[in-house]
Amino acid sequence: MIKLSNLADYAVVLMSHIALRAEHIHPATEIAGETGIPAPTVSKILGMLVRADLLASHRGLNGGFSLRGDADDITIADIIEAVDGPVQLTNCLDVDDVCCDYQASCGTRGQWHKINQAVKGALNSVRLSEMLGAVPDFVGSDRKNRSAAKNVN
């Protein structure tokens, strides 16, 4: 199973939350409370996103976090790579990895690059702004109602 790490998943949620009100400076405690993600995890991820230049950190009494750029200019790949590092489906795609016992006889290594580029291309093709739409029909009605209520405020 190919699966995002929990931190990458949460990072997309946090970035989407911030992008919904891009003009607002969002304190970490507010973000944690509104998303339901534990505060220590929120703080850790926000720090990673600041280091990746996706978020700006504002210090002081009314401090918090805001998008560094426009949500149309940030891709899902940018967010995932800020938290998890480069998109890499197999260990053999790492240029520094030479510890594979099968490298000399592996007939699939070259094809993984093609697959990896396709996945990375797909992640690069989705903008943060696209993640801000309405909650899809397949999500439970309770969550859709909460989302609608938040969007009204």
Q: Does a structural domain hold residue 100?
A: no
Amino acid code (one letter) for 14 = L
pLDDT of residue 1: 67
Give yes or no for residue 61 having a pLDDT over 70. Answer: yes
Phi and psi at 108, nearest 5°, equal -105, -15
Selection from 38, 8, 32 nearest residue 18 by Cα: 32
What sign has the CA pseudo-torsion 8, 13, 19, 24? negative
Helix (H/G/I), strand (E/B), else coil: 57: strand
115: in domain: no
Confidence of residue 3 (pLDDT cuts 50, 70, 90): confident
Over residues 78-93, the mean pLDDT reads: 87
27 within domain boundaries? yes
Q: What CATH number did the domain enclosing 78 receive?
A: 1.10.10.10
Confidence band (pLDDT; 50, 70, 90) for 152? very low
Domain boundaries, position 44 = 6-85+128-152
Checking if the pLDDT of 150 tops 60, the result is no
**How far is the CA of 4 from the CAs of 84, 86, 94, 120, in angstroms?**
9, 12, 18, 13
pLDDT at 103: 67
CA atoms lying within 13 Å on the CB side of residue 46:
25
pLDDT value, residue 113: 82
Number of domains in the chain: 1
Q: What is the mean pLDDT of the chain?
A: 85
What percent of the chain lies above the pLDDT cut of 90?
A: 61
Asked if the structure places residue 60 within a domain, the reply is yes
97 in any annotated domain: no
Tell me: pLDDT of 90 over 50.
yes
Residue 136 lies in a domain: yes
Residue 14's CB: how many other CB atoms inside 10 A?
25
In a domain, 96, yes or no: no
- Whether 42 is covered by a domain: the verdict is yes
- Structure token digits, residue 35: 């998303």
145 pLDDT higher than 80:
no
